[in-house]
Amino acid sequence: MNKPATSLGTTQTKRQQAVRDIRKLLAESKHADAIKLLNALPPKLLNKDAELLFLLAAAHELLAHRQLAIAAAEKSIRITEHPDALLLLARCHRVLGETEKALRYCERAREKAPGNPNIEYIRAGTLEEAGRFSEAIEILQPIVEKHAVAGEALPIPLRLEWSKLLVQQKRYDEAVKLIDETVALEGLPPTGVNMLFHLKAKACDRAKDYDAAAEAAEQANEIGRVEFDPDLYTEQVSVLIDNWSRETMASFPLSTCDSEIPVFVAGMPRSGTSLIDQIIDAHPKAAGVGELNTIERFAVQLSQVWNPDLPPEKQFGRYNAHRWTRAANDYVREITKLAKPGTERIVNKALGNNKLVGLFARLFPKTRIIHAIRDPRDVAISCFMGGFNNNLHAWTTRIDWTAHAWNQSMRMMRHWKESLDIPILDVHYERLVADPENEMPRIIEFLGLEWDDACRDFYKSRRTVRTLSYDQVNRPLYTTSSGRHKNYAKLLEGVDFPHYDPFGDR
C-alpha cells in the first residue's frame, strides 16, 4: 500500500532539514556531532540515501576514520556514483597507501566529471607519494604551464602538489619560491602552512642550506605546538614499567595463539623502521602492513577496564584469556588478508609499538620484536624536520623534547628485554646502511626465514610506504643520513644527549 502523500512530504521535509543540519555541523567542524545525528536517522532512510551516506563518509574522513569513511562512501556510490564520493574514496585509499585503489577511483571520478582539476591533483599526489614522480609530473606540468600561459595564479591545491614535485626534481629554488608565495596567501589553513614549511625545510636541507632549513622547520613546529612535559612523560613510563613488570604480567591473561606470523618493529620514529619494514616485505615469504594500530586499540580497551585492586582473574573484567586469544587470532586473520598467500611473517611498525611489547608477548607468545635504534641526535633532527601529529607526538617539535623521548624509549625497551622471554633483536640504523651484506641477512635469519636476494633489492618494489620517509625507502641504501645532525650543530647546542656508539660492541 502506498503511503499518503502527506506522509511522504513529511519524510522528505525531515530529510532536507537533516541534510541542512549535518552540513552546518560539518562547516562548523563539529564532525562527531554530525556522525551522531546521521546515525540517529532511521536506518532505512540512511542506508538508501546516497547524499546522507556521503555526508557520513565525509565526517568520518575529517576525523581520520578512514575505514569507516570508505564503508559509507562505498554504500553511497552503490546507489549513485557521484564524483565527490569517488574522490573521497581515492583520498582515503591514498592515505592508507593503497595506490592502485586510489588511482582506480580517480579514473572513475574522471569518467563522471571530465576536466575536474581536483581529480588530477589527487591523481598526481597519489603517484608522487608512491614514488612514481615522472608520472605525477606528466599529469601536473601541462596544467601548470597552462596557468602560466594564461597569466593565472596557480590554485592552492595545485601549489601544494607541484611544490612537492619541484623538490623531487631537485628544483629547490623554484620550490622555495613557490612555497613562500603560497604561505603568504590569505585563507590557507594552519595545517597547510605547517606542511609547506616542513616541505621548505626538506628543500633547503637537500640544497644544503641548513640554516634556512632549520628556520623553516622551526616555523612549521611553532604552528599548533602542543606543550610536552618531560617529567610527566618520565612518570608515565615509570607507571607503564611498574604495571608491566615480570611479576605483574605473570597474572595477566595469556593468549593461546600459537602463530609465528606477527612480527613487530619497535623504537623511535625516524630510526629506520620503514627501511626494516621494506627489507622484510621484499622477502617472498614475508610482508609488511605499515603502521597498523589494531593492537593499540585493543590496549586502549584494556586500559579502560583494568583494575589492579581486584583479584588477578578479575582485573581485566570481561577481557579474560579467551578474549585475549580471540583478539590475537582476529589480528592474525586481519594481517593475513592484507598479505599475499603463503606469507609466513608479517611485520607491523606502528609508532607506539615500544609501549606495547609486553602486550604483544601476552597476545602472541611466539612473536618476534625488532628494536630499531639510531643516533639520538639524528633522530631529533629528523623528527624536528619531519612533521608529525602534534597531538600524538608533541615531543617531535623541539630538539630537547625528542632527546628526552629517545631516552625513555630506550628505557622501555631495556625493561622489555629484562622482563620478557620473547626474542628481541637490536638493529642499529648506522650498521644497517654501512654493512647491509651482514645486517640484512641477520634480520631475515632472526625471523626464521632463509635469505633471499630480493631483500637486497627492496627499493625496486612498487609498494607505497605511508611514512615521512616515503621518498627515501624506495631507493638504494645510502649512508648520508648517518651523522645528519652535524649539519645542525646550532640546533643541538645546550641539549644533553646520551653517549651513542652503534659499533661499540664490535
pLDDT above 80 for 480 = no
In CATH terms, 230-481 corresponds, of 3.30.310.50, 3.40.50.300, 3.40.190.10, 3.90.245.10, to 3.40.50.300
Per-residue CA distances from 63 to 54, 59, 68, 88, 292 (Å): 14, 6, 10, 13, 17
Say what the pLDDT of residue 200 is: 97
Strand pairing class (286-288; 262-267): unpaired
What secondary structure letter does DSSP report for 472? T
445-474 pLDDT, tens per residue?
Answer: 999 999 999 999 998 876 666 555 555 555
- What number of H helices and E strands is found in the chain? 24, 5
Order across the sheet with 262-267: list the strands: 286-288, 345-348, 262-267, 368-373, 424-428
- Return the C-alpha cell found at 242: 611498574
Query: Per residue in 198-233, pLDDT tens?
Result: 999 999 999 999 999 999 999 999 998 899 999 999
- Tens digit of each residue's pLDDT (9 = 90 or more) over 165-200: 999 999 999 999 999 999 999 888 898 999 999 999
Q: Burial, 275: exposed, middle or buried (Cβ in 10 Å; 0-12, 13-18, 19+)? A: buried
Percent of the chain with pLDDT strictly greater than 70 = 93
What percent of the chain stands above pLDDT 90?
82
Q: Do the Cβ atoms of 197 and 216 come closer than 8 Å?
A: yes
What's the predicted TM-score (pTM) here?
0.85
What is the C-alpha separation between 177 and 45, in angstroms, rounded?
51
Which pLDDT tens digit goes with each residue over 373-383? Answer: 999 999 999 99
Q: Which residue has the cell 595469556?
A: 254
Write down the domain spans for the chain.
230-481
Which tens digits make up the pLDDT trace of 56-110? 999 999 998 998 999 999 999 999 999 999 999 999 999 988 899 999 999 999 9
Residues 6+ apart with CB under 8 A from 505: none
